[in-house]
Structure 1
Amino acid sequence: MKVYEEYKKKLCTPQEAVQAVKSGDWIDYSQGCSFPTALDCALAARRDELRDVKIRNAISCRPVQVVEQDKERQAFTYNLWHCSGLDRQYLDQGRAFHAPMAFRNCGSYYSRGLAPVNAAMITVAPMDARGNFSYGLTNCCQQEVLDAAEVIILEVNPHMPVVYGMENDHIHISEVTHVVEYDGSLCTAPGRAATESDRQIAAHIFPYLYDGMNLQLGIGGIPNALGELIAASDLQDVGMHTELMSDGYLQLYKAGKITNKRKRLQRHKGVFSICLGSAELYEFLHYNQDILSAPMSYVNNPEVIRQLDNFVSINGCIAVDLYGQVSSESAGIRQISGTGGQLDFITGAYMAAEGKAFLAMRSMHADKHGVKHSHIVPRFTAGDIITTPRTQAPYLVTEYGVAQLAGLTTWQRAEALIAIAHPEFREMLIQAAAAQGIWRQSNKR
């Protein structure tokens, strides 16, 4: 059968497609820009006739209708591998649940049968003449999800760019159960403007950067501020190998800083696994032969990262204690984010020749009552999730400086961390360190 005839045979409305969902099913929306907007709305409309339908997603960028239309969770249970700001609201309101994972392993949960999928619903680019649909902005663990699915429903969106991949970058019409069409905007997440604190932190990291480095950046104000510094600098021949490509990288490409010329793997090619940013970034990726998408099992594999000499990883965190334990995903028991690829890149960067990993945060914040709280704490006692263990603690950075923790004793770590804490909290932290037996009498106050 010719591919266009097969396409027409499988084409249906979103309402018809979601009839494949049964009570008790597990549904997968994939992650980020693969979110199936029309199918989500159609599935939500079946709220009164379904029960115990479990949906997985990550990094929601627009209101999720199976959540919005079923606030009491009578029909749908929403589960998240990783969290956006919107997802954080859903978690705070008791309308979603978090699924802990390390990004490099996420695909294996599907391939090993640990994450069953009755129906997968994902957004893809329009079909080409050979019957293939590009996964576009999300490679991640897309293939593992589809391989595990009993039913595959594609939401074809003309705005999804065609992105070349190392592997697992498309699906053929013959493997698809249903096709629906939706001409609406993709999820976007424009970069947050850098604050003065972000710029101060970025300025402390910048001296550690150099020509020919392979760069992994997280998302947020600090990476954006660092991108501004790099774009305006004399740095040359930067390489890109990152789990998430954001507008910070677009800025570096436009400034001519990223050439990928010195990479040992995929020379002349930037590599990412998920893209989330502006419409301009998506247009930049459309049929761009300089950039490849790749599965998270490859991008985040420490053994792969090890082979990229001069690897520099820069991510954010929430808090660190005086022992060097790092929490990057919760404040107490309140889920803020997820492990994502932080530990993957910290591990791989340390293994790489001349590699370095940085975790950055503001030194303190003020709550809604104006009470100040230090992000460097004596010890974690309120159920905070430890994302990076003290045995792998990398460079920690605040607006007051950089603390390199690897190889340091407990008293040296306490001294280094207190030195980059907010000045208003240093005396308290010294007293706590002394009470905890990790403050040497010769340490300076």
Structure 2
Amino acid sequence: MSLQDIYRSKLVSPQQAAQLVKSGDWIEYGFCATAPRAFDTAMAERKEELFDVNIRVGVSVHPSKAFESDPTGEHFTWNSWHFTGLDRKYAGMGAAFYNPIKFSELPRYVLENQRTDIFVAQVAPMDKFGFFNFGVSNSHHYGAVARAKKIVVEVNEKMPRVHGGYAHGIHIDQVDCIIEGDNLPLPELPSAPPSEVDRAIAQLIMKEMHDGDCVQLGIGGMPNALGAMIAESDLKDLGGHTEMLADSFVDMFMAGRMNGRRKNIDNGRMAYTFALGSKKLYDFLDDNPFCASYPVDYTNSAEVAAKIDNLVTINNAVEIDLFGQVCAESAGVRHISGQGGQLDFVIAGYLSKGGRSFICLSSTYKDKQGNPKSRILPTITPGGIITDTRSNTMYVVTEYGMFNCKGQSAWQRAEGLIGIAHPDFREELIKNAEKMGIWRRSHKR
């Protein structure tokens, strides 16, 4: 049979593909923007026939017709590898839960620790060799493919065809069902406009940047501000090795700042595991040999990333305490985000020869009543999740300065972190440090 004959033999409607689902099944959706649309809608139509079906997702950007048809969770339960605003909304409705992860280990979780009955993902159209391309998400897909009993691909002609790396596609021989979807545009993530605080923090980090550095950026206004500053700077020969690829990497490349020529591995290429941004980003990815899509156990492996000299990793936090413990996932027990690859890159940034790891946060935020609150606290808010342990924290940056926690004693950490807290809260923080026995009398008082 020709490839086209095989294709036609596996081509089904979304409703036919959804018939694969049985009560009690565990279904893995494609990561982030590769989560299925038509299949999900067809599964929602079967709601009354199905019970206790678990859906696993990561970085949700598509509303789920299946889950929204059953917010009580009698039929469908939502399990997320990383919370977005959509996941938080679903958690508030009930029957949506977070799966704690260290992102670099996610393929192994799926291969060894999680049952998967069906894997379904959006893909680019089949090429002349019989391969479907996973486009904007690689993540842990190879593990889901190996583990799943049935594999469904949902073809989207608007999915960019990306270069690897490896594990960025699947051959038709491995596929059980093919759906031709509605070719909906990929979701766009508007660039968060940087605040004055974001710009102040980015300016502090820019002073620590050098020609030939390799950059990892997280998500948010501050990384966007830093990317814009780099694009407008005179830095040269930068590299990119990151978990999430965002618009700021396009800006750095197009400005001639990023070419990867000094990278120890993937020389001349930018490695990433998933992309989320604007159409500009998706067009940049399409058939671009500079961009290398890898599974997350490659991009986020501290062992791999640390082989790159001068790796600079930039991540955000919700709060940090005077011991140097970082919470980037929750506000007390209320879940906000997830660990993702933050700890992976915090470790890799320090292990890299000449590397630097930065945790960035505004010094304050306002509560629901509009009252300012410090993000630097005596101890993490009760119930708060420790994303980075105190021994892993390197540079902490607020708009008031930068402090390197590495190798510092308890009193040095307290003194250094209080020194970059908002001035209105420093005296109170000193009093708490004294009570906790981590304050040393000094001229810093």
TM-score, length-scaled by structure 1: 0.98
Q: Which residues of 2 match residues 111-190 of structure 1 at below 5 A?
A: 111-112=111-112, 114-182=113-181, 183-190=183-190
| Counterparts of residues 267-278 of structure 1 (less than 5 Å) | 267-278=267-278
Residue in structure 1 matched with residue 29 of structure 2 by the alignment:
29
Deviation of the 1:319 alpha carbon: 0.5
Q: Deviations over 1:15-44 (max 9, x none)?
A: 110100000000000211111011111111
In 2, are the aligned partners of 1:92 and 1:334 still within 8 Å (CA)?
no
The separation in 2 between residues aligned to 1:284 and 1:27, in whole angstroms, is: 31
Whole-angstrom distance in 2 between the partners of 1:303 and 1:404: 22
- 1:403 match: 403
Aligned length, in residue pairs: 444
The one-character-per-residue Cα deviations of 1:266-317 (angstroms, maximum 9, x if unpaired) are: 1111111111111111111111011110111111111111110011000111
Deviation at 1:381, TM superposition (A): 4.6
TM-fit CA distance, 1:187: 2.3
Partner of 2:391: 391
Provide runs of 4+ in structure 1 moved above 3 Å. none
SS at match of 1:123: strand
Name the counterpart of 1:355: 355
Deviates more, 1:376-385 or 1:410-419: 376-385
Distance 2:281 2:217 in 1: 16
Residue 427 of structure 1: how far off its partner (Å): 1.0
Q: Distance in 2 between matches of 1:203 and 1:91?
A: 37
CA–CA distance in 2 between the matches of 1:187 and 1:150? Answer: 29
Q: In structure 2, give the amino acid aligned to 1:151.
A: K
Give the Cα separation in 2 of the matches to 1:340 and 1:224: 18
- How far did residue 90 of structure 1 move? 1.8
Query: Does the Cα contact within 8 Å between 1:135 and 1:162 map onto a contact in 2?
Result: yes
Letter in 1 for 2:142: Q
Q: Tell me whether 50-59 or 30-39 shows the greater mean CA deviation.
A: 30-39
CA distance in 2, matches of 1:153, 1:236: 44
Gaps of 5+ in 1: none
CA distance in 1, matches of 2:208, 2:251: 20
The residue identity in structure 2 corresponding to 1:295 is: P
Task: State whether residues 364 and 422 of structure 2, in contact with CA within 8 Å, keep that contact through their aligned partners in structure 1.
Answer: yes
What one-letter code is carried by the residue in structure 2 that aligns with 1:313? T
Q: Secondary structure at the match of 2:224?
A: helix
Give identity over the alignment, percent. 43
Q: Partners in 2 of 1:434 and 1:64 — Cα distance?
A: 50
Paired residue type of 1:179: I
Q: Which amino acid aligns with 1:150?
A: K
Please give the alpha-carbon distance, in whole angstroms, between the structure 1 residues aligned to 2:67 and 2:17: 19
Q: SS in structure 1 opposite 2:432?
A: helix
> Per-residue CA shift, 1:398-435, capped at 9, x if unaligned?
11111111111111101111111111111110110000
Secondary structure class of the residue paired with 2:152: strand
Q: Is the 8 A contact 1:131 1:173 kept in 2?
A: yes
1:70 aligned onto 2:78: no
**What are the residue-to-residue correspondences of 1:325-340 with 2, within 5 Å?**
325-340=325-340
Q: Is the 8 A contact 1:403 1:417 kept in 2?
A: yes
What one-letter code is carried by the residue in structure 1 that aligns with 2:247?
D
Question: Equivalents in 1 of 2:365, 2:306: separation in Å?
Answer: 35
Quick one: which amino acid aligns to residue 213 of structure 2?
Answer: M
- Between the aligned partners of 2:195 and 2:147, the Cα distance in structure 1 is 43
Residue pair 1:243, 1:300 contacting (<8 A) in 2 also: yes
Whole-Å Cα distance in 2 between the matches of residues 190 and 95 of structure 1?
28
Q: What amino acid is aligned across from residue 228 of structure 2 in structure 1?
A: E
Q: Report the TM-score when normalising by structure 2.
A: 0.98
Aligned to 1:90: 90
1:419 corresponds to 2:422: no
- Distance in structure 2 (CA, Å) of the matches to 1:199 and 1:313: 17
Does 2:229 correspond to 1:229? Answer: yes
Gaps of 5+ in 2: none
Alignment of 1:201-350 (within 5 A): 201-350=201-350
Three-state SS of the structure 2 residue aligned to 1:315 is strand
Give secondary structure in 2 for the equivalent of 1:390.
coil
Query: Is the 2:300–2:345 contact (alpha carbons within 8 Å) kept by the matching residues of 1?
Result: yes
| Counterpart Cα distance in 2 of 1:425 and 1:153 | 55
- Aligned-pair CA distance for 1:443: 4.6
Q: Which residue of 1 aligns with 2:429?
A: 429
